[in-house]
Homo-oligomer: A and B are copies of this chain.
Amino acid sequence: MSSNFDAVDELIKQFSLDRDWDQFHTPKNLLLALVSEVGELSEVFLWKSDKDVEDYLSSNQGREKISEEIADVAIYLIRLCQKLDVDLLEIIKAKMETNNSKYPIDKSKGSPKKYTELDN
């Protein structure tokens, strides 16, 4: 079932281990790989209006393409966490707590303003 993050994490770790790719996976290299995949994801959305994106998503081909590109970004992000020895789910939880403090509901509701621009 979908909640098993650890299995996915392990899959990604084993994949690199099997191929002896640890030697290439320095943090900076993984970051460049991430940037490269974000570029590919951007290309999928290129020249498309919000409506076009929706239509594309509703096609099997489009949905699969977008899914693959998002997965590629995620895989390198998870790999980066493995190499830096940080726990992805834990740091997300910690950051969401910070975000909760930075963006109190009563001040942020309906506004996209950055926390530095919120009235005090």
Binding site for B on A (CB under 8 A): 2-6, 8, 11-12, 15, 18-21, 23-24, 26-29, 31-43, 45-48, 50, 53, 57, 63, 66-68, 70-75, 77-78, 80-81, 84, 86-96, 98-100, 103, 105, 108-110, 112
Across the interface, do B47 and A112 meet the contact criterion of CB distance under 8 Å? yes
Across the interface, do B42 and A11 meet the contact criterion of CB distance under 8 Å? no
How many angstroms from the CA of A5 to the CA of B3 in the assembled complex?
A: 5
Across the interface, do A47 and B68 meet the contact criterion of CB distance under 8 Å? no
Residues of B within 8 A of A92 (CB): 8, 11-12, 71, 74-75, 78
Across the interface, do B8 and A2 meet the contact criterion of CB distance under 8 Å? no
